[in-house]
Structure 1
Amino acid sequence: MNSTFMARAVACFSVLSLSGCVMGPDFQVPDNPLASRWAPTPSEAGHSATNESAVDVRWWDSFADAQLSALVREAQTRNFDLQLAASRLEQSRAMRRQVAAEELPAVDGAAGYSRSRNSQRGLSDPSGNSGKQAYNLWSGGLGFSWEADLWGRVKRSVEVADASVQMAEEDRHAVQLLVIVQTAQDYIELRSTQQGLAVVEQNLHIARRSLELTRLQLKEGVATDLEVSEAAAQVAEIQARLAPLQQHSAQLINALSLLVAREPRALQQLLSAPAAVPAYTAIVPIGLPSELAQRRPDIRLAQARLHAATASMGMAEADFYPRITLSGNLGFQALQLSDLGSWGSRSFAFGPGVSVPLFEGGRLQGALQLQEGRQQEAGIGYQKTVLRAWHEVDDSLVAYQASQRRRDSLQQAVEHNQRALNSVHQQYAQGTVDFLNVLTVQNALLANQAALVDSTAQVSLSLVGLYGALGGGWQG
């Protein structure tokens, strides 16, 4: 009968908890009032265009570079920053389970044995021996406690924990996107550096041929010692450009090794052979501006942070109201082990407890005001994050189009420089121009070829930056 009474009491408090009100405002996803007033920069004729179709979640494969795709896959599997972010996510999920346990009753089991002897002149002896001899005491039972969540404090705490899990998950998404972008950027820059090395080596070969020609002309009395010295200096100046490029290439290979959690120079054999800079010439899908908040991890993180701050306000408001706790225990106690478990050895205690905040000296009011301030700060932070994301996308689109214009102009310049160098070499061999003309044209060609390699890589790098600003990649 007593057990039935306890079960009914628990059921009663459960109904009260479920039917109780939840304090604080419910979270609503903020509107983006600027979404209707912002549109991406239109594409220009003659360059890679953009459209509002869905963003490619595996955009790195669109560069058609198997080595790049393999490095991105390996980085997503092995990168230590990603592993750390995944560990933080698991910790937040464990914390959420810990918080959610407050919604359920806590039940503890206990068993014990002791041998005691009371004072003959002290308090009453439970053994009935008046302290004249020792006795055994056997006990065992169950205890439970449960808070009736009448004001939704526990529900709001679980809501905060859910938002914290979301924050940790979006942090992992942000790290994943950053690792993908960094891997692609380092790889493109590596290939650009290798192409730059090839340009310098090609010009070094031309400069050495010019030096040989000048020495022959010196023997024939056509050239002077000054022209030979100028040609030799040109060879040394071009050769001096090799070392910084070789150093930068080695450092980029090490950077990629670190991204895939490998030791220094682990990718040297794999990546040392020069290859073309990955290029993307198809139409670039950028999605709708209104969908940006669904893709960017930083916006999703700011939204989860705002959600947690909003739910925390409800927790602070619930602290103003009484807390009702139901607790009790049911067990057995006997002096003889053989009597333990008999009906006469049973014991129980049951009853509710109420805690009412009567005077807190303004502590609760201060806590509520603090949460309101944090919620306001999180709301402003969300708006700032969204606006900054739109600026980054717009800036990335502008950079992508500008890099294409620069590359096209440099291609024309290199073609003109190449024709000019061929012409000036013929004229120098015929003795119609001096070597200074050769130096001038060759230096111009070398500068424009290096700039063309850099601008070609910059087109791909700006596209990688655009995809990073669009938030595409972690979904794949």
Structure 2
Amino acid sequence: MKSVRSLRPVRRQFMLKSFLLTLPLLGLGACMVGPKYHALKPWSPPHFDTHARENGQTSPLSVVTELPFDDAWWKSFHDPVLASLEERVAKQNLAFELATANLAQSRAQMMIAGAERFPALSAQGTYARTQNSTKQLEEIIHRIGKKSPGLVSPGDVKVPVLNQWQYSIDATYEVDLWGRVARQYQAAKALMQMSEEERRSVLIAQQADMAHDYLQLRGDQKRVRVLNASHKTLSDLLSLTQSRYKSGLVTELDVDSVKSRLHRVEAQQAQLSQIVAQEKNAIAFLLGAPPRSLDQELEQGQNTPVVPPFVPAGLPSELVHRRPDIREAEANLRQSVAELGEATADFYPKITINADFGFQTLSFKDLGLWGARAWNVGPSISLPIFQGGRLVGQLNLKKAAQKSAAISYRQTVLRAWHEVDNAMQSYHDEQNKREGLNNAVKDSQRSLDLALSQYRSGLSTYLDVLNAQIQTQDAQMDLATSDAAVATNLARLYNALGGGWQKVLPDEGALLKEAQNNQSQAVAYKSTRKMVR
């Protein structure tokens, strides 16, 4: 019989052979099956169609230019209240907080998926006090005694109570031969990027809603002032008509007609007051505040913000990199490609390396001795033979999902350009409409002043004054609505251009790339300085 010392070289050779056999398997992890993702080049026009020229002449209105895009676009209105509200959206909006929580879940899922790329190590320790069956041992000895009589008598055997101590370190690692684990991590990373872009989409949507509600509020507050002015004009007209009625110059019908018109204006005031209150509450809700908590703040500076003469929109090629919905659609396409590669890898063998090393002994005092060591190492291979069509169905499902993601990406890009073009057209046309309404207000106001002057002199009837007042009020109300529409259309254009998130939620990948470029430039600068010295 060989001694224990003579067995040690054999064990060492076995351990070395096991390690050498598994080492090539580790190097095969670079092979990846399935399709590879290729960056897409979506369509974009060479220039924005700004609608700034009509009949060969440049429009004097506010026009869209390809100047560098300003991420804090709400500052172009030069309204401090709007700027304050917009800056609080990212801190107080509940929908944005919910999107942030969803992003945290996606990042945790990516961490879970990425953990499979590394060996799993665990340590365990056990203690067991065991009493085995004496009868079983007697039966074994009895059967041995038939072949070797007189060796041991079954009646002399008694199994003692055993104390077993053991602790070990276990390791498990899947050799990613076909890129299944890598594809799984790529899919989880793309899913996290989708959640990140969705969070950015929520932010710019809430910013756009804030601007829309605020600008609509300012427009309705201006309409309230128009109704207040109309109410004063009608009240003065009623006093004048009543005075003329007492003098016998007009009939009671004239007085009742003016009263009817005055009551109608009062009804409009009540309806508009309700709308203004709802708009204030909508703004408070966007900031996660209770109803009427912002009423005092929103009463300050009730003028509709004026749009700038030039609107910087950036270059058309920047749109696909700025709009979060396009970036999300691209991340969805990357995820579908990664999942297709993962489904393809499921057809190939799966190799896992298992290893553990520890100590086993029946006595606690011997637990740390080298002679109590125990270990094993070796690969395990599993190959799918028959799955009832599950793998084929899964592969077909991922192929269809990848095709659907590609179509969705094209659709998202096309929809984005339609939104931009429609927003630019609406912004341009609404300005032309406002110019016409502005002229109509001036003309109707002159007509009202002339009708009032003639009525006081007895040269016209009250019907002429009422008609002029109605036309003036309608024109002023339409102008106030158009002023708000021009501003809201500009906010809609900024939303279509995908602005409002870069400073609040910067692109970490772009920042990292910029930092690496700056670091490389610094190293090159230092090297140049050394060469000059």
User: Which of these residues, 4, 29, 51, is aligned with residue 42 of structure 1?
Assistant: 51
Hey, what does 1:29 align to over in structure 2? 39
Contact kept, 8 Å, 2:48 with 2:66, in 1: the verdict is no
Distance across 2 between alignment mates of 1:78 and 1:12: 55
Match of 1:147 among 174, 187, 201: 174
Is 2:353–2:378's contact at 8 Å kept on the other side of the alignment? yes
What TM-score do the two structures reach when normalised by structure 1? 0.95
- Is 1:403 the counterpart of 2:430? The answer is yes
The CA deviation string for residues 99-125 of structure 1, in whole angstroms up to 9 with x for no partner, is 111111011100011112111012699
Q: What is the CA distance between 1:5 and its match in structure 2?
A: 6.1
Residues 448 and 36 (structure 1 numbering): CA distance in 2 closer, same or farther, change over 3 Å?
Answer: closer
Partner letter of residue 465 of structure 1? R
2-structure distance, mates of 1:440, 1:130: 123
Contact persistence 2:61–2:309 (CA under 8 A): no
Quote the Cα distance in structure 2 between the aligned partners of 1:407 and 1:42: 16
Displacement, 1:53?
2.0
- Give the whole-Å Cα distance in 1 for the aligned partners of 2:113 and 2:455: 84
C-alpha spacing 1:185/1:131, structure 2 compared with 1 (3 Å):
farther
Q: How far apart, in 2, do the equivalents of 1:5 and 1:83 lie?
A: 56
Structure 2 unaligned blocks of 5 or more: 1-11, 54-58, 140-155, 504-533
Match of 2:99 among 77, 85, 110: 85
Comparing 392-401 and 287-296, the one that deviates more: 287-296
Task: Determine helix, strand or coil for the equivalent of 2:309.
Answer: coil
Q: Which moved further from structure 2: 59-68 or 267-276?
A: 267-276
Instruction: Quote the Cα distance in structure 2 between the aligned partners of 1:233 and 1:464.
Output: 40
Distance between the aligned counterparts of 1:234 and 1:36, measured in 2? 54
Q: Does the aligned pair in 1 maintain the 2:50–2:64 contact within 8 Å?
A: no
Question: Shift of residue 361 of structure 1?
Answer: 2.7
Q: 2:26 aligns with which of 2, 11, 14?
A: 14
Counterpart of 2:273? 246
Residue aligning to 1:55: 69
Matched to 2:271, the amino acid is P
Write the distance in 2 (CA, Å) between the matches of 1:68 and 1:439.
38
Q: Classify the secondary structure of the residue corresponding to 2:428.
A: helix
> What is the match of residue 276 of structure 1?
303
Residue number in structure 1 paired with 2:529:
none
Q: Distance in 1 between matches of 2:334 and 2:137?
A: 58
Task: Give the number of equivalent residue pairs.
Answer: 470
Quickly say closer, same or farther: Cα 1:37–1:282, change in 2 above 3 A: closer
Match of 1:447 among 460, 474, 481: 474
Counterpart CA distance in 2 for 1:400 and 1:139 is 77
* Residues 329, 409 of structure 2: 8 Å contact kept: yes
RMSD of aligned Cα (Å): 1.8
Shift of 1:273: 4.2
User: What does 1:388-427 align with in structure 2 at a 5 Å threshold?
Assistant: 388-427=415-454
- Give the 3-state SS of the residue equivalent to 1:98 in structure 2: helix
Match of 2:78 among 64, 76, 95: 64
Aligned match of 1:162: 189
- Distance in 2, Cα, partners of 1:131 & 1:223: 132
Q: Aligned ranges for residues 156-195 of structure 1 at < 5 Å?
A: 156-195=183-222
Q: Are the equivalent residues in 2 in contact too, given 1:191–1:275 (CA < 8 A)?
A: yes
Matched residue SS, 2:134: coil
Post-superposition CA distance 1:369-405 (Å, at most 9, x none):
1111100000001001111111111000110011101
TM-score of the pair, normalised by structure 2: 0.85
For the pair 1:352 / 2:345, whether they are aligned, the reply is: no
CA distance in 2, matches of 1:72, 1:324: 54
Gaps of 5+ in 1: none
Q: Summarize the alignment of residues 272-311 of structure 1 with structure 2, pairs less than 5 Å apart.
A: 272-273=299-300, 275-311=302-338
Aligned residue number for residue 138 of structure 1: 165
Q: Which amino acid aligns with 2:92?
A: R
Report how far residue 23 of structure 1 moved.
1.1
Deviations 1:133-191 (A, max 9, x none): 32211110111110100111111111111111110110001000001100111111111
Amino acid at match of 1:47: L
Q: Is 1:73 aligned with 2:87?
A: yes
Secondary structure, counterpart of 2:220 in structure 1: helix
Contact 2:18 2:378 in 1 (8 A): no
Instruction: Give the Å deviation of 1:355.
Output: 0.5
Residue 469 of structure 1 pairs with residue 496 of structure 2: yes
Q: Select between 285-294 and 139-148 the one with higher mean Cα deviation.
A: 285-294
| Aligned pairs (5 A) from 1:213-224 | 213-224=240-251
Deviations 1:291-335 (A, max 9, x none): 211111111111100110011111111111111110021111111
Pick from 390, 401, 405 the counterpart of residue 363 of structure 1: 390
Residues 117 and 131 in structure 1, CA contact (< 8 A), matched pair in contact too: no
Which protein shows a greater Rg?
Answer: 2
Aligned-pair identity in percent equals 37
Q: CA offset at residue 10 of structure 1?
A: 5.6
